[in-house]
Protein backbone atom coordinates (compact mmCIF):
# COMPACT_ATOMS: atom_id res chain seq x y z
CA UNK A 1 0.00 0.00 0.00
CA UNK A 2 1.34 3.48 -0.91
CA UNK A 3 2.57 5.40 2.12
CA UNK A 4 0.31 8.35 2.91
CA UNK A 5 2.28 11.61 2.82
CA UNK A 6 1.93 13.87 5.84
CA UNK A 7 0.07 17.15 5.43
CA UNK A 8 2.12 20.21 4.59
CA UNK A 9 1.77 22.85 7.28
CA UNK A 10 1.54 26.27 5.68
CA UNK A 11 1.94 29.69 7.26
CA UNK A 12 0.28 32.58 5.41
CA UNK A 13 1.81 36.03 5.97
CA UNK A 14 -0.18 39.03 4.83
CA UNK A 15 -3.23 36.91 5.66
CA UNK A 16 -5.55 39.93 5.95
CA UNK A 17 -4.67 40.99 2.40
CA UNK A 18 -3.56 39.07 -0.67
CA UNK A 19 -2.42 36.08 1.44
CA UNK A 20 -6.09 35.33 2.16
CA UNK A 21 -6.82 34.80 -1.53
CA UNK A 22 -4.96 31.46 -1.45
CA UNK A 23 -7.72 30.03 0.76
CA UNK A 24 -9.79 28.18 -1.83
CA UNK A 25 -6.73 26.62 -3.47
CA UNK A 26 -5.48 25.39 -0.07
CA UNK A 27 -8.97 24.15 0.86
CA UNK A 28 -9.15 22.09 -2.32
CA UNK A 29 -5.90 20.25 -1.64
CA UNK A 30 -6.11 17.54 0.99
CA UNK A 31 -2.34 17.50 1.30
CA UNK A 32 -2.03 21.02 2.72
CA UNK A 33 -3.25 22.69 5.84
CA UNK A 34 -3.08 26.40 6.65
CA UNK A 35 -1.63 25.95 10.12
CA UNK A 36 -0.73 29.52 10.98
CA UNK A 37 -1.55 33.03 9.79
CA UNK A 38 0.45 36.20 10.35
CA UNK A 39 -0.41 39.84 9.80
CA UNK A 40 0.56 43.09 11.47
CA UNK A 41 -3.12 44.06 11.27
CA UNK A 42 -4.16 42.90 14.77
CA UNK A 43 -7.74 44.04 14.31
CA UNK A 44 -8.54 41.72 11.39
CA UNK A 45 -6.19 38.85 12.22
CA UNK A 46 -8.68 36.66 14.12
CA UNK A 47 -11.19 36.92 11.25
CA UNK A 48 -8.46 35.97 8.76
CA UNK A 49 -7.50 32.98 10.93
CA UNK A 50 -11.12 31.81 10.99
CA UNK A 51 -11.55 32.33 7.24
CA UNK A 52 -8.39 30.36 6.46
CA UNK A 53 -9.06 27.72 9.14
CA UNK A 54 -5.72 28.40 10.84
CA UNK A 55 -4.89 27.01 14.28
CA UNK A 56 -2.28 29.65 15.17
CA UNK A 57 -2.12 33.42 14.64
CA UNK A 58 0.85 35.76 14.87
CA UNK A 59 1.41 39.47 14.50
CA UNK A 60 5.17 39.00 14.15
CA UNK A 61 6.58 36.98 11.25
CA UNK A 62 9.88 35.97 12.88
CA UNK A 63 7.97 34.68 15.91
CA UNK A 64 5.76 32.60 13.61
CA UNK A 65 8.83 31.11 11.92
CA UNK A 66 10.48 30.37 15.27
CA UNK A 67 7.48 29.01 17.16
CA UNK A 68 5.19 27.40 14.62
CA UNK A 69 5.79 24.02 12.97
CA UNK A 70 5.78 25.10 9.35
CA UNK A 71 6.89 23.32 6.19
CA UNK A 72 6.28 26.36 3.96
CA UNK A 73 5.05 29.95 3.94
CA UNK A 74 2.92 31.87 1.47
CA UNK A 75 4.12 35.48 1.36
CA UNK A 76 1.32 37.92 0.50
CA UNK A 77 2.76 41.04 2.12
CA UNK A 78 3.66 44.33 0.33
CA UNK A 79 6.55 44.26 -2.14
CA UNK A 80 9.43 45.37 0.15
CA UNK A 81 8.79 42.43 2.51
CA UNK A 82 8.98 39.67 -0.10
CA UNK A 83 12.77 39.21 -0.04
CA UNK A 84 13.45 39.62 3.70
CA UNK A 85 10.56 37.32 4.60
CA UNK A 86 11.56 34.74 1.96
CA UNK A 87 15.19 34.73 3.16
CA UNK A 88 14.14 34.37 6.81
CA UNK A 89 12.09 31.28 5.90
CA UNK A 90 14.73 29.79 3.61
CA UNK A 91 17.36 30.15 6.36
CA UNK A 92 15.19 27.76 8.38
CA UNK A 93 14.78 25.46 5.34
CA UNK A 94 11.11 26.41 5.14
CA UNK A 95 9.63 26.49 1.62
CA UNK A 96 8.41 29.80 0.12
CA UNK A 97 5.61 30.71 -2.28
CA UNK A 98 6.14 34.45 -2.75
CA UNK A 99 3.86 37.05 -4.27
CA UNK A 100 5.13 39.12 -7.19
CA UNK A 101 7.50 40.66 -7.98
CA UNK A 102 10.20 38.58 -6.32
CA UNK A 103 12.07 41.67 -5.07
CA UNK A 104 12.46 45.43 -5.27
CA UNK A 105 16.19 45.85 -5.97
CA UNK A 106 18.98 44.02 -7.76
CA UNK A 107 21.01 43.77 -4.54
CA UNK A 108 18.26 42.13 -2.54
CA UNK A 109 17.47 39.81 -5.46
CA UNK A 110 21.10 38.63 -5.33
CA UNK A 111 20.70 37.97 -1.60
CA UNK A 112 17.54 35.99 -2.30
CA UNK A 113 19.19 33.90 -5.02
CA UNK A 114 22.09 33.07 -2.70
CA UNK A 115 19.68 32.11 0.09
CA UNK A 116 17.87 29.78 -2.34
CA UNK A 117 21.14 28.16 -3.43
CA UNK A 118 22.03 27.16 0.15
CA UNK A 119 18.57 26.35 1.55
CA UNK A 120 16.81 23.00 1.54
CA UNK A 121 13.57 24.99 1.29
CA UNK A 122 11.86 25.21 -2.12
CA UNK A 123 11.28 28.70 -3.54
CA UNK A 124 8.53 29.49 -6.03
CA UNK A 125 7.20 32.85 -7.21
CA UNK A 126 3.41 33.04 -7.38
CA UNK A 127 3.11 34.55 -10.87
CA UNK A 128 -0.55 33.67 -11.17
CA UNK A 129 -1.10 35.20 -14.64
CA UNK A 130 0.92 32.29 -16.04
CA UNK A 131 -1.86 30.09 -14.63
CA UNK A 132 -4.69 31.80 -16.50
CA UNK A 133 -6.30 29.18 -18.73
CA UNK A 134 -5.65 30.89 -22.12
CA UNK A 135 -2.04 31.57 -21.11
CA UNK A 136 -1.54 27.94 -20.05
CA UNK A 137 -2.98 26.74 -23.38
CA UNK A 138 -0.64 29.00 -25.37
CA UNK A 139 2.26 27.73 -23.22
CA UNK A 140 1.40 24.17 -24.18
CA UNK A 141 1.12 25.10 -27.88
CA UNK A 142 4.52 26.82 -27.68
CA UNK A 143 6.05 23.87 -25.78
CA UNK A 144 4.99 21.52 -28.58
CA UNK A 145 6.83 23.78 -31.05
CA UNK A 146 3.69 24.83 -32.91
CA UNK A 147 4.57 28.55 -32.88
CA UNK A 148 7.83 27.66 -34.63
CA UNK A 149 10.55 30.01 -33.43
CA UNK A 150 8.94 32.75 -31.33
CA UNK A 151 10.66 36.08 -31.98
CA UNK A 152 8.34 38.91 -30.91
CA UNK A 153 5.91 39.38 -28.02
CA UNK A 154 3.96 42.09 -26.23
CA UNK A 155 2.37 42.25 -22.80
CA UNK A 156 0.38 45.03 -21.16
CA UNK A 157 -0.85 45.57 -17.61
CA UNK A 158 -3.18 48.57 -17.50
CA UNK A 159 -4.81 48.88 -14.10
CA UNK A 160 -5.73 52.30 -12.73
CA UNK A 161 -5.08 52.19 -9.00
CA UNK A 162 -4.75 55.80 -7.86
CA UNK A 163 -7.54 55.19 -5.31
CA UNK A 164 -6.08 51.89 -4.11
CA UNK A 165 -2.75 53.70 -3.65
CA UNK A 166 -4.32 55.71 -0.85
CA UNK A 167 -5.66 52.61 0.94
CA UNK A 168 -2.66 50.31 0.50
CA UNK A 169 -0.13 53.13 0.94
CA UNK A 170 2.93 51.01 0.13
CA UNK A 171 1.79 51.12 -3.53
CA UNK A 172 2.38 54.89 -3.60
CA UNK A 173 6.08 54.16 -2.92
CA UNK A 174 6.81 50.85 -4.60
CA UNK A 175 4.46 50.80 -7.58
CA UNK A 176 3.69 54.42 -8.50
CA UNK A 177 6.55 56.09 -6.59
CA UNK A 178 9.35 54.78 -8.82
CA UNK A 179 9.71 55.41 -12.54
CA UNK A 180 9.92 52.44 -14.90
CA UNK A 181 8.39 48.97 -14.84
CA UNK A 182 7.62 48.39 -11.16
CA UNK A 183 5.01 45.66 -11.65
CA UNK A 184 5.84 43.83 -14.83
CA UNK A 185 5.78 40.12 -14.03
CA UNK A 186 2.10 39.63 -14.92
CA UNK A 187 2.94 40.78 -18.46
CA UNK A 188 6.42 39.31 -18.92
CA UNK A 189 5.79 36.04 -17.03
CA UNK A 190 3.49 34.29 -19.52
CA UNK A 191 5.56 35.56 -22.47
CA UNK A 192 8.78 34.05 -21.09
CA UNK A 193 7.01 30.71 -20.73
CA UNK A 194 5.99 30.97 -24.41
CA UNK A 195 9.66 31.44 -25.33
CA UNK A 196 11.10 28.50 -23.39
CA UNK A 197 14.84 28.61 -22.76
CA UNK A 198 15.06 32.29 -23.70
CA UNK A 199 15.50 35.31 -21.42
CA UNK A 200 15.66 39.10 -21.60
CA UNK A 201 19.31 40.14 -21.77
CA UNK A 202 19.00 43.92 -22.31
CA UNK A 203 16.26 46.46 -21.70
CA UNK A 204 15.50 50.08 -22.44
CA UNK A 205 12.58 51.99 -20.98
CA UNK A 206 10.80 55.30 -21.60
CA UNK A 207 7.65 56.84 -20.15
CA UNK A 208 4.80 58.96 -21.47
CA UNK A 209 5.11 61.88 -19.06
CA UNK A 210 3.23 62.94 -15.90
CA UNK A 211 -0.43 63.94 -16.18
CA UNK A 212 -2.08 63.05 -12.86
CA UNK A 213 -1.49 64.21 -9.28
CA UNK A 214 -2.10 62.37 -6.03
CA UNK A 215 -4.54 63.80 -3.43
CA UNK A 216 -1.68 65.85 -1.90
CA UNK A 217 -1.10 67.60 -5.22
CA UNK A 218 2.13 65.76 -6.06
CA UNK A 219 2.85 64.17 -9.42
CA UNK A 220 3.46 60.44 -9.32
CA UNK A 221 7.12 59.58 -9.85
CA UNK A 222 6.05 56.76 -12.17
CA UNK A 223 5.15 58.09 -15.63
CA UNK A 224 1.68 56.93 -16.60
CA UNK A 225 2.52 54.52 -19.38
CA UNK A 226 5.99 53.07 -19.12
CA UNK A 227 7.16 50.94 -22.01
CA UNK A 228 10.11 48.57 -21.73
CA UNK A 229 11.69 46.98 -24.77
CA UNK A 230 13.59 43.80 -24.06
CA UNK A 231 16.14 42.14 -26.29
CA UNK A 232 16.03 38.37 -25.96
CA UNK A 233 19.12 36.14 -25.72
CA UNK A 234 18.09 34.42 -28.97
CA UNK A 235 17.65 37.73 -30.79
CA UNK A 236 13.91 38.28 -30.40
CA UNK A 237 12.19 41.36 -29.00
CA UNK A 238 9.54 41.88 -26.30
CA UNK A 239 7.58 45.00 -25.45
CA UNK A 240 6.02 45.46 -22.00
CA UNK A 241 3.68 48.35 -21.13
CA UNK A 242 2.62 48.97 -17.54
CA UNK A 243 0.19 51.77 -16.64
CA UNK A 244 -1.27 52.01 -13.13
CA UNK A 245 -2.32 55.66 -13.31
CA UNK A 246 -4.24 56.58 -16.46
CA UNK A 247 -8.01 57.12 -16.13
CA UNK A 248 -9.63 54.39 -18.22
CA UNK A 249 -11.12 50.90 -17.82
CA UNK A 250 -8.76 48.15 -16.72
CA UNK A 251 -7.04 45.93 -19.26
CA UNK A 252 -4.54 43.77 -17.45
CA UNK A 253 -4.17 40.68 -19.61
CA UNK A 254 -3.19 41.92 -23.09
CA UNK A 255 -0.71 39.62 -24.80
CA UNK A 256 0.63 38.89 -28.29
CA UNK A 257 3.27 36.54 -29.57
CA UNK A 258 4.66 36.01 -33.05
CA UNK A 259 6.60 32.96 -34.17
CA UNK A 260 7.74 31.64 -37.53
CA UNK A 261 4.79 29.18 -37.59
CA UNK A 262 2.13 30.84 -35.50
CA UNK A 263 0.77 34.00 -33.92
CA UNK A 264 -1.44 34.68 -30.91
CA UNK A 265 -3.37 37.78 -29.87
CA UNK A 266 -5.41 37.93 -26.67
CA UNK A 267 -8.85 39.52 -26.81
CA UNK A 268 -8.81 43.24 -26.07
CA UNK A 269 -12.52 43.91 -25.73
CA UNK A 270 -15.45 42.16 -24.09
CA UNK A 271 -17.08 39.74 -26.51
CA UNK A 272 -13.89 39.30 -28.54
CA UNK A 273 -12.13 35.92 -28.70
CA UNK A 274 -8.49 35.16 -27.94
CA UNK A 275 -7.28 34.38 -31.44
CA UNK A 276 -4.52 32.21 -32.79
CA UNK A 277 -3.10 31.22 -36.11
CA UNK A 278 -1.05 28.02 -36.41
CA UNK A 279 0.50 26.92 -39.68
CA UNK A 280 -0.01 23.29 -38.66
CA UNK A 281 -3.78 23.84 -38.50
CA UNK A 282 -4.11 26.20 -41.45
CA UNK A 283 -1.13 26.45 -43.81
CA UNK A 284 -2.36 29.70 -45.35
CA UNK A 285 -2.02 32.57 -42.87
CA UNK A 286 -5.36 34.16 -43.69
CA UNK A 287 -7.67 33.03 -40.92
CA UNK A 288 -7.59 33.19 -37.14
CA UNK A 289 -8.91 30.40 -34.93
CA UNK A 290 -10.59 30.91 -31.59
CA UNK A 291 -8.11 29.76 -28.92
CA UNK A 292 -11.01 28.30 -26.92
CA UNK A 293 -11.63 25.79 -29.73
CA UNK A 294 -8.14 24.35 -29.12
CA UNK A 295 -8.64 24.14 -25.36
CA UNK A 296 -9.42 20.41 -25.15
CA UNK A 297 -6.37 19.53 -27.24
CA UNK A 298 -3.86 21.78 -25.51
CA UNK A 299 -4.93 22.30 -21.92
CA UNK A 300 -2.04 20.95 -19.79
CA UNK A 301 -2.38 17.30 -18.70
CA UNK A 302 -2.27 18.15 -14.98
CA UNK A 303 -5.19 20.53 -15.52
CA UNK A 304 -7.31 17.78 -17.12
CA UNK A 305 -6.71 15.53 -14.10
CA UNK A 306 -7.15 18.26 -11.52
CA UNK A 307 -10.10 20.12 -13.02
CA UNK A 308 -12.73 18.09 -11.17
CA UNK A 309 -11.05 18.79 -7.84
CA UNK A 310 -10.55 22.45 -8.68
CA UNK A 311 -14.18 22.81 -9.71
CA UNK A 312 -15.44 20.89 -6.68
CA UNK A 313 -13.66 23.46 -4.57
CA UNK A 314 -15.54 26.14 -6.50
CA UNK A 315 -12.25 27.27 -7.95
CA UNK A 316 -11.68 26.22 -11.53
CA UNK A 317 -9.05 28.90 -12.17
CA UNK A 318 -5.31 29.04 -12.05
CA UNK A 319 -4.68 29.69 -8.33
CA UNK A 320 -5.50 26.05 -7.59
CA UNK A 321 -2.94 24.78 -10.11
CA UNK A 322 -0.36 27.27 -8.87
CA UNK A 323 -0.60 25.91 -5.32
CA UNK A 324 -0.70 22.34 -6.70
CA UNK A 325 2.61 22.99 -8.51
CA UNK A 326 4.12 24.38 -5.31
CA UNK A 327 2.98 21.35 -3.32
CA UNK A 328 4.34 18.99 -6.00
CA UNK A 329 7.69 20.77 -5.73
CA UNK A 330 7.64 20.64 -1.90
CA UNK A 331 6.92 16.91 -2.02
CA UNK A 332 9.68 16.35 -4.57
CA UNK A 333 7.48 15.26 -7.48
CA UNK A 334 8.52 18.03 -9.92
CA UNK A 335 10.67 21.15 -9.81
CA UNK A 336 8.77 24.38 -9.22
CA UNK A 337 7.90 25.81 -12.66
CA UNK A 338 8.75 29.32 -11.41
CA UNK A 339 11.76 28.56 -9.25
CA UNK A 340 14.30 31.18 -8.31
CA UNK A 341 15.92 31.59 -11.75
CA UNK A 342 12.58 31.81 -13.56
CA UNK A 343 11.42 34.29 -10.89
CA UNK A 344 14.53 36.38 -11.58
CA UNK A 345 13.98 36.18 -15.36
CA UNK A 346 10.53 37.69 -14.75
CA UNK A 347 11.59 40.25 -12.12
CA UNK A 348 15.05 41.58 -13.05
CA UNK A 349 14.16 43.21 -16.42
CA UNK A 350 11.68 45.51 -14.64
CA UNK A 351 14.28 46.46 -12.01
CA UNK A 352 16.86 47.28 -14.70
CA UNK A 353 14.23 49.28 -16.62
CA UNK A 354 14.05 51.59 -13.58
CA UNK A 355 17.73 52.43 -14.18
CA UNK A 356 17.28 52.77 -17.94
CA UNK A 357 14.48 55.32 -17.62
CA UNK A 358 16.69 57.48 -15.37
CA UNK A 359 19.27 57.41 -18.19
CA UNK A 360 16.82 58.55 -20.89
CA UNK A 361 16.14 55.05 -22.17
CA UNK A 362 19.72 53.80 -22.40
CA UNK A 363 19.95 50.07 -23.23
CA UNK A 364 21.16 48.25 -20.13
CA UNK A 365 22.24 44.67 -19.45
CA UNK A 366 19.98 42.42 -17.40
CA UNK A 367 22.06 40.12 -15.18
CA UNK A 368 21.54 36.36 -15.36
CA UNK A 369 20.81 35.00 -11.90
CA UNK A 370 22.34 31.67 -12.97
CA UNK A 371 25.71 33.46 -12.61
CA UNK A 372 24.91 34.36 -8.97
CA UNK A 373 26.37 31.66 -6.74
Ligand X SMILES: NC(=O)c1ccc[n+]([C@@H]2O[C@H](COP(=O)([O-])OP(=O)(O)OC[C@H]3O[C@@H](n4cnc5c(N)ncnc54)[C@H](O)[C@@H]3O)[C@@H](O)[C@H]2O)c1
What residues make contact with ligand X under the rule CB under 6 A?
13-14, 16-18, 38-41, 61, 76-79, 81, 99-100, 128, 168
Strand 95-98 with 123-125, pairing: parallel
Q: Is the Cα torsion angle 51, 337, 199, 150 positive or negative in sign? A: negative
Least distance in angstroms from the C-beta of 60 to ligand X:
8
Residue 229 or 346 with smaller CB distance to ligand X: 346
Residue 59 or 282 with smaller CB distance to ligand X: 59
Least distance in angstroms from the C-beta of 185 to ligand X:
8
Q: Are 366 and 350 in contact (CB under 8 A)?
A: no
Q: How large is the greatest C-alpha to C-alpha distance in the chain, in angstroms?
A: 68
Residue 157 or 298 with smaller CB distance to ligand X: 157
Within 8 A by CB and 6+ apart from 9, the residues are 33, 35, 36, 68, 69, 70, 71, 72
Least distance in angstroms from the C-beta of 48 to ligand X:
8
β-strand partners of 14 = none
Residue 4 or 43 with smaller CB distance to ligand X: 43
The Cα–Cα gap between 49 and 12 comes to 10
Q: Where are the beta strands (DSSP E) in the chain?
A: 8-13, 32-38, 56-58, 72-75, 95-98, 123-125, 150-158, 200-207, 225-232, 237-243, 251-259, 262-265, 275-278, 289-290, 364-365
Residue 263 or 338 with smaller CB distance to ligand X: 338
Residue 29 or 79 with smaller CB distance to ligand X: 79
Residue 119 or 128 with smaller CB distance to ligand X: 128
Burial bucket for residue 148 (CB in 10 Å: 0-12, 13-18, 19+) = middle
Residue 77 or 193 with smaller CB distance to ligand X: 77
Least distance in angstroms from the C-beta of 174 to ligand X:
8
Q: Are 319 and 21 in contact (CB under 8 A)?
A: yes
Q: Are 49 and 37 in contact (CB under 8 A)?
A: yes
The Cα–Cα gap between 295 and 332 comes to 29
Which residue is nearest to ligand X, using beta carbons? 17
Within 8 A by CB and 6+ apart from 174, the residues are 78, 79, 80, 104, 182
Least distance in angstroms from the C-beta of 315 to ligand X:
15
Cα Rg, the chain, nearest whole Å: 21
Amino acid sequence: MAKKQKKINLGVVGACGRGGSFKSACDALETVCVWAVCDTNEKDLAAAATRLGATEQYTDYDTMLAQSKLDAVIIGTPMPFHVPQAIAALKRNIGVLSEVPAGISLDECQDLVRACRTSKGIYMMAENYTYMRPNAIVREIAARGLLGTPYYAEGEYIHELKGLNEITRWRRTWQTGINGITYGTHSLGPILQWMPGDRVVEVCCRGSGHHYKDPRGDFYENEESCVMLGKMARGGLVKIRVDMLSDRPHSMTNYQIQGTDGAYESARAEGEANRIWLRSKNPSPDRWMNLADLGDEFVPEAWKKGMELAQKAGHGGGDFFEVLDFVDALQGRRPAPIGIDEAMDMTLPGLVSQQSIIRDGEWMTVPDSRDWR
